């Protein structure tokens, strides 16, 4: 039989290890907070429902490019050609020139900082042969990463063609993959501005520089999606990922004030997250919790070890 003191200790430990539910409220239709180290979901609001991710889906385009930079198939100094299809792509733009060749590192900055839809098409055609071929790569990679609520139809998040969907959970998972899988490349997300052909564009992520510890990742906006943002911040040894989408500001008729309000809401929720969720090492690795006496033919006594990292 198991000794009663050990059972009581184990029960108390498991009670402590249960995820806390913080009282976080937001006007966003979808939201999720994840611990970047463990992947634990700390809070969510309709975070598992597929939704239009707008430009936040560019994170998959970046992940695929990062993977090829990491394994050496692509170098930052390599150049990709600009097709007419890329040059004609509308929405937010890097302002690529038809017929030119653009270094990969510049395309990265054009996507991350300037949210260039045209730059996404350049990358898609270079890596996938065609945009459609690259979309197939995106969906294959989504399955590999366990992004079960994601469907990609383009590399940029534009509403045409329709059908681009991701959940807040999938965006957080993808962000965690980028942060932990490509530490040598992640610094691009914290850059505040980029100039291409004398056109100066600031990073659309206004949380950078205003929230202590913030260093990425991506914003998005379409009429269907509303205003969205995926951010990460690190304080001490703790890194959190926050996804918000479906923020709506019908009182404004341009992007200027909504961009500010979106950043303010993301910073507010992230501050709450750092206050409500803290990392506590409940037990050291391989620490003996107690002894278990097992009645059996050998009358053996087994030592049990429990290791847990509590977010509470």
Domain holding 282, by residue range, is 1-20+278-312
pLDDT of residue 9 exceeding 60 = no
- Do 63 and 208 lie in a common domain? yes
Backbone angles phi, psi at 150, to 5 degrees: -115, 135
Rounded to an integer, what distance in angstroms lies between the CA atom of residue 193 and that of residue 201? 6
Instruction: List, by residue number, the catalytic residues.
Output: 55, 58, 115
Which residues, including other chains, have CB under 8 Å from residue 159's CB and lie 6 or more apart?
Answer: 52, 222, 223, 224
**Res 292: pLDDT:** 54
Q: Which two tokens stand for residue 298?
A: 């050998």
Q: How far apart are CA 174 and CA 157, in angstroms?
A: 15
Same domain for 161 and 47: yes
| Domain match, 160 and 66 both | yes
Please indicate, yes or no, whether residues 109 and 129 belong to a single structural domain of this protein.
Answer: yes
The CA distance from 43 to 63, in Å, is 25
Summarised one tens digit per residue, pLDDT across range 223-277 is: 999 999 999 999 999 999 999 999 999 999 899 999 999 999 999 999 999 999 9
- Please tell me whether residues 307 and 233 are part of one structural domain: no
- Does residue 229 sit in the same domain as residue 299? no
Please indicate, yes or no, whether residues 13 and 57 belong to a single structural domain of this protein: no
Adjacent-strand bridge partners of 217:
231
pTM (2 d.p.): 0.85
Residues 224 and 311 both lie in one domain: no
Residues in the chain: 312
DSSP H helical ranges for 194-302: 256-276
Task: Categorize the per-residue pLDDT at 135 as very low, low, confident or very high, splitting at 50, 70 and 90.
Answer: very high
The CATH number that applies at residue 128 is 3.40.710.10
> What would the mean pLDDT of 274-281 be, rounded to a whole number?
79
pLDDT score at 4: 44
Cβ neighbours of residue 256 under 8 Å, at least 6 residues apart? Answer: none
What pLDDT, on the 0 to 100 scale, is given for residue 103?
A: 98
In sequence order, the 6+-apart residues with CB closer than 8 A to the CB of 276 are 20, 22, 24
State whether 128 and 181 are in the same domain: yes
Same domain (yes/no): 70, 158: yes
Secondary structure class of 38 (helix, strand, coil): coil
Please check whether residue 66 is in contact with residue 185, taking contact to mean a CB–CB distance below 8 angstroms. yes
Surface-to-core class of residue 109, CB atoms within 10 Å of its CB (0-12 exposed, 13-18 middle, 19+ buried): buried
- Whether residue 230 sits in one domain with residue 163: yes
120, 96 contact by CB (below 8 A): no
Between 291 and 138, the more confident residue is 138
Structurally, the chain folds into a number of domains equal to 2
Hunting for tokens 């807040």 — which residue is that?
A: 168
Q: 200 and 85: one domain?
A: yes
């Amino acid at each position: 039989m198991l000794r009663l003191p050990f059972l009581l200790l184990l029960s108390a430990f498991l009670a402590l290890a249960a995820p806390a539910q913080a009282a976080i409220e937001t006007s966003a239709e979808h939201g999720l907070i994840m611990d970047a180290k463990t992947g634990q979901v700390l809070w969510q609001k309709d975070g598992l429902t597929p939704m239009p991710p707008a430009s936040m889906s560019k994170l998959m385009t970046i992940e695929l490019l990062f993977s090829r930079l990491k394994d050496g198939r692509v170098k930052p100094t390599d150049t990709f050609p600009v097709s007419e299809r890329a040059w004609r792509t509308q929405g937010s733009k890097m302002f690529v020139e038809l017929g030119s060749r653009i270094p990969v590192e510049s395309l990265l900055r054009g996507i991350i900082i300037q949210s260039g839809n045209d730059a996404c098409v350049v990358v898609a055609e270079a890596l996938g042969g065609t945009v459609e071929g690259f979309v197939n790569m995106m969906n294959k990679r989504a399955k590999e990463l366990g992004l079960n609520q994601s469907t990609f139809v383009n590399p940029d998040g534009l509403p045409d063609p329709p059908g681009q969907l991701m959940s807040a959970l999938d965006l957080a998972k993808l962000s965690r993959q980028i942060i932990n899988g490509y530490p040598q490349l992640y610094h691009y997300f914290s850059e505040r501005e980029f100039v291409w052909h004398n056109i100066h564009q600031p990073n659309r992520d206004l949380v950078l520089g205003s929230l202590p510890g913030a260093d990425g990742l991506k914003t998005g906006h379409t009429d269907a999606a509303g205003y969205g943002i995926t951010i990460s911040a690190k304080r001490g040894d703790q890194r959190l990922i926050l996804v918000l989408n479906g923020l709506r500001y019908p009182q404004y008729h341009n992007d200027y004030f909504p961009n500010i309000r979106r950043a303010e809401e993301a910073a507010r929720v992230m501050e709450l997250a750092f206050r409500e969720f803290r990392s506590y090492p409940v037990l050291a690795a391989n620490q003996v919790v107690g002894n278990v006496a097992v009645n059996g033919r050998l009358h053996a006594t087994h030592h049990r070890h429990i290791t847990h990292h509590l977010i509470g």
